[in-house]
Structure 1
Amino acid sequence: MATTRRLVRALARRFAWHMLGAAIGLALVLLVHGLLSTATGGVPEWVVAAVAVAAAVALGLVPGARELEVTAARALLDVDAELVAPDEPRLAHRARTAAWVVLHLVTGLVVAFGLFGLVPAAVLIGLEAVAGRSLGSGLPLPSGAGEVVARLALCVAGGLLAAGATWPLGVAARTLARRVLGPTAHDRMETALARARREAEHTRLARELHDGIGHALTVVSVQAAAGRRVVAADPDAAAGALAAIEDTARTALAELDQLLAVLRDDAADDAPMRLGPALGDVVEAHRRAGLDVRDRVDLPPGLPALLGRTVRRIVTEALTNAHRHGGPGPVTLEVDRHGDQVRVEVANPLAARGGGRPSGGRGLAGVRERVALFGGTVTAGPDGDRWVLRATLPAPAPVRPAPVRKDPDA
């Protein structure tokens, strides 16, 4: 029963789609015929048909025609495939839309002619055969019982075929809609590129999440362990550890809030991401967490924002790894610029167990990927009794503002 109801609803919707095309097509034909008859006093039918087709093509080129046809195909033809109505249609979209409008109007007129022309004619001819007298069809009456039966059979078959034309034509239109109103090869390429951009953005956000939140959690875990060990013997040190945890957690929550803002659907795609604290704040946070950082940072103003953020992430990763894997002792940090290069070097003592550290972590891999985007180089590994990370990034010359000329008459 449910299947029958679905079939009836589908048939009704396809009939409505055809009647929509028939109404527009008939109005267009009558308008063309009236205009041509008024202008020329009478033209052949084939001229009317040719001009009507041209008018249908022009109708398909009207802005908004594709949107209306896409909506009708989805609602009345039950097209569940991807249909596109681009904001800036290309020539291929316009040509396909014009062809689809012509197809819609022609199939609608065919179905309407079958229902309102052929079906009544079949009924009339059948009644003449049964009654044995002419009712106005103009056809000769059958001369015998065999001819009566044959004519009745032809009338029934023709009437059923004309009445049922809406179903096969609707199925064909539903299939063609996926091709004609679906995405072009250019649309598919743009979709693939957009998907690649989204995946790249997700990867970048995953790095930001690892670099910011992951490093903050490392500092929190180190401080929590230190505070637990000294909470009874040295309450002031424990209070300092709790304060560092509070400050780090607050900063991480702010960064997470900004990350979630970027992930919102209504966030602007080209909005700049300002994530994470400044380089000096990163160093101070690790100092408060107990790391003996001896830094020498000498970067000129005017560096590109992306380069500055990359330098900060490299330093954050190196100091976090020193906190997590390094041995006791000072950590040296040098960030400076030599000519057209920015150099970052972080060195910390190796742990007492001596074996270096894992080399396949996501953090160092992320650093290498970031630096590779700039065409720079990264080396990381033990150097004597210290672990050293060195990164070199090409840097363009800082943009200097043009000097302001003073008006001598001012």
Structure 2
Amino acid sequence: MRQCLRLPFTAGPYRGWVHALLGVVTVSAVALAAAGLLILWPTAVPAPAFAAAAWLLTGAVGLLGPVRRASVRLANGLLGTGLQHPLRPRRTATAAWTLAWTLAGAALAAASSLALFTLGLPLVWLDGGDTIAFGAQLRIAPGAAGSWTLAAAAGVAVATVYLAAGYTALMRRLASLLLGPGLGERLAAAEAEADRAAARNRLARDLHDSIGHTLTASTIQAAVAKQAMASDPAGARLAMDAIESASRAALDDLDRALGVLRGEPAATHPEPTLSELPALRDRIASTGTELTIAFDGDTGAGLDAAAAVPPLISREAYRIVQEGVTNALRHAPGAEIQIHLDLADDRLLLRVVNPLTDTRAKSTGGRGLAGIAERIRVLGGDTWAGIEDDAAWTLRAALPLRPSVRR
């Protein structure tokens, strides 16, 4: 009730009135165009035929592509609809909107004209009264007998404001139906949002895997450097150099991620693949942890067979191995880590194994394992992580070489 009483003192009805006035201007311009066309007609055109022609031309205006964009801007600015920028014309719906807009606007303009006439009645009364034509002869008496014109003018003015508010509410509803996104636009928006969500999830996984690995390795290297500072300065210097190199790589990954968030062009440097595993092994060796890599059972294969792995699978497999190594460093520092890679039946099978420790036995997994599972699920593969033979913690993954990517 209070909101209803405050309505005449808000801007909504008056913006709606301006919107209606623009509709009257539009239909007037179309009527002038129709009149210009009908002048060339060889015979006299009856008024109903002229009105029908103007009405049809008004609807035809809505078939033009830019009309929907202009209508959305007007509705957002004057009706407060908040419609999204249109991607497609929706010509039929826009034509229906144009007809509804001009007809409703003409009705509100007619009511407003009546209100303006009524507002002039008190002036006639103050001037001593008179008889005026108002559909019929209307006698306004002087003195107290004509004071009813004040109440009539005030009542009609307030009623017109509420009528404009009703026009605004009605046109908002119609705008959402006729100018809002169609099915195709909603599907496109949903797909775009799904793509953005997938990109954000992938970015989160990449940051967790790359920076988490770097921080874990750097922490262990810093501990090694601290212990070797007095007894082995050269070894401590090597550990500090490894920390610096890993930190620079982490900064590059972070800069790439921030560029993605800002919508900047993607960095030109490629993401690491299985061919980078020897470099990973060397970095892990600087922490004092032995890392062995075997491809198809051969620890001396030099990963030449990794070239047979498609780039997408190779990148994802590297991230999975990296996360497995990071978990091993975090939960079983100093323990030997073994990486096994095998190509079999159009699938890449990988295992990351480290001896079981008390810390490893208590581990229940976290975001890292969840990220691995998500990566593999998207590619249509399988994963398993847990204690194997009561002696080792094992991360297993099977990735199809020709994945059917799922969302």
TM value normalised by structure 2? 0.79
Larger mean Cα displacement after TM superposition, 15-24 or 204-213:
15-24
Larger mean Cα displacement after TM superposition, 197-206 or 49-58:
197-206
1:250 deviates by 1.0
1:194 deviates by 3.4
Contact kept in structure 2, 1:82 and 1:183, CA below 8 Å: no
Judged with a 3 Å threshold, the aligned counterparts in structure 2 of structure 1 residues 109 and 250 are, in CA distance, closer, same or farther, namely same
Cα separation, 2, equivalents of 1:213 and 1:178: 46
Aligned 1:10-409 pairs, distance under 5 A: 10-77=12-79, 79=80, 81-89=81-89, 93-116=90-113, 119-120=116-117, 139-140=136-137, 156=153, 160=157, 164=161, 165-267=163-265, 274-276=270-272, 278-297=276-295, 298=303, 299-301=305-307, 303-326=309-332, 328=334, 330-351=336-357, 353=358, 356-380=361-385, 381-396=387-402
Q: Secondary structure at the match of 2:342?
A: strand
Cα separation, 1, equivalents of 2:154 and 2:335: 98
1:131 deviates by 5.6
One-letter code of the match for 1:62?
L
1:126 deviates by 9.7
Judged with a 3 Å threshold, the aligned counterparts in structure 2 of structure 1 residues 47 and 263 are, in CA distance, closer, same or farther, namely same
Q: How many residues align?
A: 384
Contact kept in structure 1, 2:353 and 2:393, CA below 8 Å: yes
Cα separation, 1, equivalents of 2:211 and 2:261: 16
Judged with a 3 Å threshold, the aligned counterparts in structure 2 of structure 1 residues 180 and 336 are, in CA distance, closer, same or farther, namely same
Judged with a 3 Å threshold, the aligned counterparts in structure 2 of structure 1 residues 120 and 209 are, in CA distance, closer, same or farther, namely same
Judged with a 3 Å threshold, the aligned counterparts in structure 2 of structure 1 residues 85 and 384 are, in CA distance, closer, same or farther, namely closer
Larger mean Cα displacement after TM superposition, 34-43 or 220-229:
34-43
One-letter code of the match for 2:66?
G
Judged with a 3 Å threshold, the aligned counterparts in structure 2 of structure 1 residues 357 and 376 are, in CA distance, closer, same or farther, namely farther
Give CA-to-partner distance per residue, 1:258-317, whole Å, 9 cap, x none. Answer: 11111113457xx99944473332222212332212223443425332201111012112
Identity %: 32
Cα separation, 2, equivalents of 1:138 and 1:262: 70
> Segments of 4+ in structure 1 off by > 6 A?
3-6, 135-138, 148-155
Q: Which residue of 1 aligns with 2:300?
A: none
Cα separation, 2, equivalents of 1:262 and 1:367: 21
One-letter code of the match for 1:241?
A
Give CA-to-partner distance per residue, 1:89-131, whole Å, 9 cap, x none. Answer: 4xxx323222221122223323333444774499589959976
Contact kept in structure 2, 1:376 and 1:394, CA below 8 Å: yes
Judged with a 3 Å threshold, the aligned counterparts in structure 2 of structure 1 residues 300 and 247 are, in CA distance, closer, same or farther, namely closer
